[in-house]
Structure 1
Amino acid sequence: MTELQLQRTAEGPNVQEMPFWLEKATLWDQSDSSHTRKDISLNLRSLRDFFHQVLTEINNVSSTTETMKRLPLLGQVLGRLCWNPYVTADGASRGLLLQCLLALYSEHPSNAVERKANEWIRKVLCRLTTEEDDGATLAMMKHLGVPTREYYVKVLNKMVTMIQESIWKSRCSHSNRNQKCSCGSIQAASEAFMSLITCAEASPVIGTLLQQPAPCIRGGLSENFIDALHSAYSRCDLPLEEEVVISLWCHSLPFLEEAVLSLLDSATAAGSTPDKIKEQVTKSLLPKACAQHCSIFLVVNDIFRTVLKRAERNECVKDFLQTFTKCFLRELTLLQPQTSASLKAFFPQSPSSLLLYLLTMPSEMPRESWKNHLMWVSSTLQRLTEEEEEEEGSDAINIRGHSRVFEAWFLLAQCAHWVQVAVQLLVTSGPEDCGSLLWLLTFYHRPTNRWHHRAAQLVQAKAAWDQLYSIFSVGAHPLPADRLQPLLSLLSSRPQQLSLITLHLLVSFAVFGQLPLSTSTEITLKVLDQSGLREEAAHFLSSLRLQLNDQGCSANDSVSLRVEDLHSKIKQM
């Protein structure tokens, strides 16, 4: 039991608690140490409970005189607490203090005690009143003849200035190696601000505290302060500048994890499309924070790594990962080179040989270089898988481990725009040079296959490509009724990844092929109607549309027009 709980008896909790709170109020009034400020912060919730009990007692008694007889120490307790800026800075505590004082005020004082109490109450109310108090309270104050002067705000501003000066002195002493370590000063300042977190006047100091470097390994902000700040921001009680939010993420791992998972959940919720995912990620502060702080990116990327291990086949999660990486890389390019870490620092587990090749955007190199670029990426990935399988012998590659193959695939999933380029190039490639591109596509959709499984799947992918190459060839129409049956069989085959590979190829052939749009649309709609993969095809088309925008294609470009028309027809099915 707590110190306060031990003092409570059945005779009347308010009477028994009064000496406790008078002792607390006296101690708080006599010392302005870091210990005192921490004690106030830790007891504010219990103090508010006490105020509620006092208010109930006052309302159950017929007069102020009788209240003072039953609670003789009440005036001393309320008086000392009203003059304590750390208590009154808390909006809820100040509001309850106001209610208690107003409840004690006698509209028609019948004796000297009540007249003296009224005079004292008017004096104290001047200090507690601010322009932010509710209209009913201010109306009552005016009725009582109490001027609404901003004593409270003046005291609060003075206290904020005092703590700002304390922080500045801590920073100066930190720069002087001969001075004593200032860890205690920083912790004390953060403890002092726990009760001020939701006050607008205190917001500049909160930002300063969060961006204050710890003087030593033992230094840093109070955990209670960080928790209180996190709680206030989560309740939307505290608007913070972008830099302050990012600093809060640096200080609080749980807060950062919560922000990442919240964004991931909202962006990949049921019914999400690539466009909605992009909208959610683009307006998020997380990509910017990741670019500015390598430590934040490493945490965020590790969360993505864990999520992807559990959702390897979830296309929405892959789209989210790709979109987030694009936004992160865009923010990284906006920073001055000397202010950003190296790519290897951001991706320490990724194979170095692939890093620059995959993190380079397709729009950053000539189109005629795309095929050779992807051929090199595919051959490097094949070599990595072969080396790892040789090392592991008969043991299956475990996607849940931190193998080189998994890290390579994780990086490919983050840079899946290159996979889309590979599918685009497969439409114009001949049978003799589509092998490497098909291998890359199958690896992206099913990275856990061992060589013999992947070889079998590659044969099936090649069969799908052959069918589509034949169907979408100029001059091969009209098609016999049974010509689409082999393709439909591939779209309904197991594992599911093979049908996704086939569908991915189908969408690409329909968009980038040489057949007239009307013919391509007719074939595609017929296949989708019989295979039941309409939503999946619309998803691929939405991703392709975003990819084309990134490549600089205008809305009036012939390919973009084909994408829009086909997407519209599929949505109408």
Structure 2
Amino acid sequence: MAQDSVDFSSHYQFWMQKLSVWEHASTSETQQDTCLHLPRFQEFLRQMYEVLKELNSSTIIERFPTIGQLLAKTCWNPFILAFDESQKILIWCLCCLINKEPQNSEESKLNSWTRGLLSQILSAFRFDTKEVELFIQSLGYTPEDYCPGLLKNMVLSLASELRENHLNGFNTQRRMVPEKIRFLSRICIPLVTLPDIEPLVEALLTYHGHETQEVLWPEFFDAVNEAFLLKKISLPTSAVVCLWLRHLPSLEKATLHLFEKLISSERNFLRRIEYFLKDSLLPEAACHPAIFRIVDEMFRYVLLETDGAPEVLAAIQVFTQCFVEALEKKNKQLKFTLKTYFPYASPSLVMVLLQHPKEIPQELWLQTLKHISEMLREIVEDQTHRSYGGPFECWFLFIHFGVWADIAAEQLVMSETESSEALLWLLAFSYNPRDGSLQRAKIMVELKAALIHLKKLFRSPTLSAKDLQAVAAESPDRDPRPALCQQLSRRLLLNFLLWAPGGHAIAWEVITLVAPTDEITHEIIGFLDQTLYRWDHLCEEAPRSRKLARELLAELHASSTSPLNVGRGCRDQDP
């Protein structure tokens, strides 16, 4: 190291004079001289870096007062910058001049000046001199092709060195100094949206050294995350996962950005929710438990703040579906135990809920639903299972797999089963976990009465809208029913209309009677959209029911006022 310092000092003045000559002369002889001395000058740059990296910024200026001039002359010499290796070494030298904690205005000015030179190197080059044009043309390039190619080569060289640094681990002979990696991330901040810079950005994000603290600038993470969210940069999922794991504010901002999209989009469209979710990469990134837990907690917070808004429930359900799909693609055998994703839940319950209905024969759906209901009921109503978080935690887990609640409502109407008690409990719990066992029992009695009424009418050849309206309407002979009970009754009624042979012809008339407000209309739109979405994912064969659901959905969207116009509508007259 001492010998390097002596050699560097002895050569310093020689190269300072050479750079001055090259700067002020523009002849063919000067060009030839530059090319002749370039290999030696690159070696000088390497020696200079080895000396500078051992010194702090203040000491460098004291020992070499004119080093700024030397580096500036080098930065503006196109023949030197024509080689990406020269650019790379020059960047490291300039990084050594930056003071991490400037103590006065002079040091701040030096930092600003140095960053200007760094940006100039990393930006796309534009050389206008005739000499350089001739030089580029002699290589067989146009200026438009050569300059971006030069930047691309330099970026690939830096990215390759970062990857080698990561692979070398503790081999300090070939490791890149962490401070230089940190400075490089800072240089990239204004350049992250340049397509040619993407390999370097990716290499920085996926770099993992052995430092105890983060080496990259927080502003670098912010800039990359902002560019990614605004679609100004394209990154592989692995790099995005590294970004969110290394910088929690970026993950939080990405999740909030998703929420804003979901809120601003049209209500009750699960396909649109699915598109936004997959486009955000959050479900795929959530295969890492740390990311899943944070995103899931943010969903929990939004759910509580909106008091269980249907749109939020739908988003959680679709998010979980996309997450499970991504998990299955990534791991045929789970790398992480399910408890790392759902730490407050019963592992056996999670295993049952994770079963996709499509993977279970339809004739076994009732058996699975009964098993889910029994497990949940035991945890919720048995005081000995408080280790699993109580009713809310069980409910929050269950709504992630809300498709089972939708199937339960459908099966209650369609099937003659002795499991109706279990399915009714599951349905009542899925809509309100706050109710105690006594209140839930009262709701189940009401629902059972509505279900018995619908069962009697299911095979009836002649149905009237008034007969069915009684299922969802209030009766003057009894006390007003809770809003939840009315909502669940409507859910049973809507399933009846879709599946009962005689329900198709009067479906629109019934809906106009039971939907006197915009709120109920939106509820029915949500039900129909969710049902069609579920049928598509389960590949369920129900042509007549599917046709009716689509027509009803189109009519409800077309209706601009409420109560709905009875004169308009679809009346499916298929035999």
TM-score under structure 1 length normalisation = 0.69
Distance 1:206 1:232 in 2: 11
Residue in 2 aligned with 1:170?
Answer: 165
Measured after TM superposition, the shift of residue 163 of structure 1 is: 2.9
Between stretches 322-331 and 424-433, larger displacement belongs to 424-433
Find the partner of 1:275 among 271, 274, 293: 271
Measured after TM superposition, the shift of residue 529 of structure 1 is: 5.0
Q: Does the residue aligned with 2:155 lie in a helix, a strand or coil?
A: helix
Find the partner of 2:474 among 476, 484, 489: 489
Residue in 1 aligned with 2:117?
Answer: 84
Q: Which runs of 5+ in 2 are unaligned?
A: 1-64, 75-89, 137-141, 565-575
Distance 1:213 1:493 in 2: 63
Find the partner of 2:295 among 300, 324, 327: 300
Distance 1:500 1:281 in 2: 28
Q: Does the residue aligned with 1:533 lie in a helix, a strand or coil?
A: helix
Measured after TM superposition, the shift of residue 487 of structure 1 is: 2.9
Give CA deviations for 1:271-290 in whole Å, capped at 9, x if unaligned.
Answer: 31233323322433222222
Residue in 2 aligned with 1:316?
Answer: 311
Distance 1:157 1:551 in 2: 47
Residue in 2 aligned with 1:557?
Answer: 543
Measured after TM superposition, the shift of residue 209 of structure 1 is: 1.5
Distance 2:390 2:483 in 1: 25
Distance 2:128 2:354 in 1: 68
Distance 2:555 2:130 in 1: 73
Residue in 1 aligned with 2:283?
Answer: 287
Distance 1:407 1:527 in 2: 33
Q: Does the residue aligned with 2:473 lie in a helix, a strand or coil?
A: helix
Q: Aligned pair 1:36/2:92, yes or no? A: no
Measured after TM superposition, the shift of residue 412 of structure 1 is: 1.0
Conserved in 2, the CA contact under 8 Å of 1:41 and 1:195? no
Relative to structure 1, the CA distance from residue 558 to residue 125 in structure 2 (aligned partners, 3 Å threshold; closer, same or farther) is farther
Distance 1:212 1:329 in 2: 28
Residue in 2 aligned with 1:541?
Answer: 528
Structure 2 matches for 1:523-542, cutoff 5 A?
523-528=510-515, 533-542=520-529
Relative to structure 1, the CA distance from residue 472 to residue 226 in structure 2 (aligned partners, 3 Å threshold; closer, same or farther) is same
Q: Does the residue aligned with 1:458 lie in a helix, a strand or coil?
A: helix
Q: Does the residue aligned with 2:364 lie in a helix, a strand or coil?
A: helix
Conserved in 2, the CA contact under 8 Å of 1:332 and 1:340? no
Q: Aligned pair 1:355/2:350, yes or no? A: yes
Residue in 1 aligned with 2:261?
Answer: 266
Residue in 2 aligned with 1:517?
Answer: 504
Conserved in 2, the CA contact under 8 Å of 1:472 and 1:514? yes
Relative to structure 1, the CA distance from residue 85 to residue 148 in structure 2 (aligned partners, 3 Å threshold; closer, same or farther) is farther
Structure 2 matches for 1:11-22, cutoff 5 A?
none
Give CA deviations for 1:171-199 in whole Å, capped at 9, x if unaligned.
Answer: 24306499879644543443443454343
Residue in 2 aligned with 1:105?
Answer: none
Read off the aligned partner of 2:452 and give its amino acid letter: D
Read off the aligned partner of 2:492 and give its amino acid letter: L
Structure 2 matches for 1:320-469, cutoff 5 A?
320-338=315-333, 340-388=335-383, 403-430=389-416, 432-469=418-455
Conserved in 2, the CA contact under 8 Å of 1:89 and 1:199? no
Conserved in 2, the CA contact under 8 Å of 1:381 and 1:408? yes
Measured after TM superposition, the shift of residue 299 of structure 1 is: 1.6
Relative to structure 1, the CA distance from residue 324 to residue 490 in structure 2 (aligned partners, 3 Å threshold; closer, same or farther) is farther
Q: Which runs of 5+ in 1 are unaligned?
A: 1-21, 51-76, 99-120, 131-146, 393-401
Measured after TM superposition, the shift of residue 381 of structure 1 is: 1.0
Measured after TM superposition, the shift of residue 89 of structure 1 is: 3.2
Residue in 1 aligned with 2:242?
Answer: 247
Q: Does the residue aligned with 1:489 lie in a helix, a strand or coil?
A: coil
Q: Does the residue aligned with 2:450 lie in a helix, a strand or coil?
A: helix
Relative to structure 1, the CA distance from residue 338 to residue 437 in structure 2 (aligned partners, 3 Å threshold; closer, same or farther) is closer
Find the partner of 1:202 among 193, 197, 201: 197
Measured after TM superposition, the shift of residue 354 of structure 1 is: 0.8
Relative to structure 1, the CA distance from residue 199 to residue 529 in structure 2 (aligned partners, 3 Å threshold; closer, same or farther) is closer
Conserved in 1, the CA contact under 8 Å of 2:379 and 2:385? no
Measured after TM superposition, the shift of residue 207 of structure 1 is: 0.8
Conserved in 2, the CA contact under 8 Å of 1:170 and 1:186? no
Read off the aligned partner of 1:460 and give its amino acid letter: E
Residue in 1 aligned with 2:51?
Answer: none
Conserved in 2, the CA contact under 8 Å of 1:174 and 1:182? no
Conserved in 2, the CA contact under 8 Å of 1:525 and 1:570? no
TM-score under structure 2 length normalisation = 0.69
Between stretches 32-41 and 464-473, larger displacement belongs to 32-41
Relative to structure 1, the CA distance from residue 524 to residue 389 in structure 2 (aligned partners, 3 Å threshold; closer, same or farther) is farther
Measured after TM superposition, the shift of residue 24 of structure 1 is: 10
Measured after TM superposition, the shift of residue 549 of structure 1 is: 1.0
Q: Aligned pair 1:498/2:498, yes or no? A: no
Q: Does the residue aligned with 1:439 lie in a helix, a strand or coil?
A: helix
Read off the aligned partner of 2:532 and give its amino acid letter: R
